[in-house]
Amino acid sequence: MSDFGGQTGGSAGIRNVADGDDAPLRGFTGSEAGRFRAPRSALRVPSSGPAPHRTRSRLEFQVFRLGLVSCFGLWASCFPAAAAGRTVDTGYPGGNIVLEGITNGVAVVRPDLRDTQKGGWWFYWNFRVRGAAGETVRIRFPERNPIGARGPAASLDGGTNWAWLGAQAVTRIAEPKAWEFAFAVPSNAPEVRFSMTIPYQESDLRRFLERHRGNPAIVREGLCRTTKGREAEILRAGCLGREPGIRVLLTARHHACESLASFALEGILESVLADDEAGRAWRERVEVLAIPFVDKDGVEDGDQGKNRAPRDHNRDYDGTPVHATVAAIRDLVPRWSAGRLRFALDLHCPYLAGGDSNEQVYFPGPEDAIAAERLAGFAALLAEVRRGPIPYSPKYNVPFGTSWNTASNYSTGRSFARWARDLPGVEFSNTIEIPYANAGGAEVNADSARAFGRDLARAIAIHLGLVPRPAR
């Protein structure tokens, strides 16, 4: 391993790190110290909570040296943060990391692929560092880069609010190949969480529902017990007091790590509940059924969830279902629909970054020509009526037979969108991909993804004839 900590320049240096208080950086030399550019407002340290741990630089990461294990929950309980050094753990919903070791104070980590089909790789990670107030933490991912278009996301308030640290926070190391970022923890921050995404857990859903508490137009119910004994939720919203004319089905998190999709789902539901013409039309005529966490266990356990062994949740829609939640969806939806389901949308996030479409919102096109034509119509409508910060153009859609969207991609099983398309009365059933961090140059975050969800709801409302299409 290279002596990374001893280098003071060249490509291996850390370029853009500083804390939020303009203080000099410990552990960095000369011009290598840059600026931490995440919005300060989004990275506020909560005023209540435990006092910052006193730290001593010589003890930094001391617990790492006590023996490296990959189970951080166990590790954290054996060596709590009170051990006077920095601690890393994943002992909270969504946590995921494997610690490879410590090199000159740099934590070398990898995504934990425990749920993934053999030989597969994916990029989800999410972990916490405690006991580093006023210190700089340095994190290195060897071999493959699991950091997206706007760098890592960080939270200083226990995972409620997050900000992207920016692509400039990440340094590529040539030999041995690695990607590294550093973060100067504010002196009043007892902990910081880092993730490749802006996570969305059950606790976030509870906060959303709390904001709408007492509203009779949205109810939370149980879908089923998951394989691990959790309750998977369904949300029903809109026209609930009587038989609706139209039903709409929304799903998210077939792939556990695709968390930005969940903020878009919130945005759609906000529109259904809104005190405006479209909101009233939704509640007058449409019942929405939303399944916020299809892979509920994966979301809470911190699995990445894509190409899960033995079967991906989004390939579990033929044959005997492997997953309890998918079995429950396949049982419930046809009965609930009663022939009135018109529109089904499965919300996803694409690959981490790069490529032709991973930094654009897009729909993978269906194989069926009529379904493809209907998608084209909806895509044009969405492009026309969207108002939020996230752009959308149909030209980034991935037609069937191109890129990854080919028959071989579905050889292991049927997807949700294909399954729902064949239900009686369904006119539209598709998947949408909402990027993790960068969409057509716009920042994707909790707020902008919610705004995009409201844009989707506007297009759906027009598509269903709830409100007129605006004059051009």
Binding site for Zn ion (CB under 5 A): 255, 258, 348
Please state, in angstroms and rounded to a whole number, the distance separating the CA atoms of residues 455 and 452.
Answer: 5
Q: Tell me whether residue 32 or residue 258 sits nearer to Zn ion (CB atom).
A: 258
Min dist CB 372 to Zn ion, Å, is 20
SS3 288: strand
Q: Which is nearer to Zn ion, 63 or 256 (CB)?
A: 256
Taking the least distance from each CB to Zn ion, the nearer of 233 and 258 is 258
Q: How far is the CB of 301 from Zn ion (least distance, A)?
A: 17
Find the shortest distance in angstroms from Cβ 344 to Zn ion. Answer: 15
Closest CA to 139 of 67, 198, 60: 60
Comparison of 180 and 258: residue with beta carbon closer to Zn ion: 258
153 φ/ψ angles, rounded to the nearest 5 degrees: -100, 150
Considering the complex, what minimum distance in angstroms separates the CB of residue 257 from Zn ion?
A: 9
Per DSSP, helices labelled H in 240-315 are: 260-273, 277-285, 296-301
Contact 453, 265 (CB under 8 A): yes
Percentages of the chain per state (helix, strand, coil), in multiples of 5: 30, 20, 50
Smallest distance, Zn ion to C-beta of residue 256, A = 9
CB 244 within 8 A of CB 299: no
**Whole-number Cα distances in Å, 457 to 278, 316, 463, 466:** 9, 27, 10, 11
- Tell me if 467 sits within 8 A of 281, measured CB to CB: yes
Q: How far is the CB of 449 from Zn ion (least distance, A)?
A: 15
Nearest to 128 by CA among 88, 97, 158, 155: 88
Output 258 or 287, the one with its CB closest to Zn ion: 258
Which one, 7 or 117, has the nearer CB to Zn ion? 117
